[in-house]
Amino acid sequence: MTRNRNDEQIRFVIQISVSDVERFKEIAARCVEVSRSEPGTLLYDWYLDEEAGTARLYEAYESVDAVIAHATGPVFTDVGVPLMEVATFEQVECFGDAARLAKGQAFWPTTYWGVPFASLDS
């Protein structure tokens, strides 16, 4: 089997319930500003249903290293921290070979949300 660049990508779809829509929009906008410029980030898109109080975040990274850089950067350590006050991350789906995340050192999203994914080794 021939592997191409897309085989290395890691993608997340995250379902979120939102308790304060206006504050959520402000925080999410700051997260977008930071995340879209991070090396290795391919997509970082938020979708919000204001009436239902639900949101979805779609993220794509070129590698596991890019995911780790995102999860140890300002979104998780600074600008995105207040999201936990106005949103509940209900479901996290991960696509791609992320076995290294599940088997490595404690990784904040898996520690906080519980291990949301499993992956087969290559």
Asked if 28 contacts 55 with a C-beta cutoff of 8 angstroms, the reply is: yes
H or E, element range at 42: strand 41-49
> pLDDT for 87-117, tens place per residue?
988 888 888 887 777 665 545 454 444 444 4
* pTM as predicted: 0.78
| Residues 86, 105, 91, 36, CA torsion sign | positive
CATH class of residue range 8-113? alpha beta
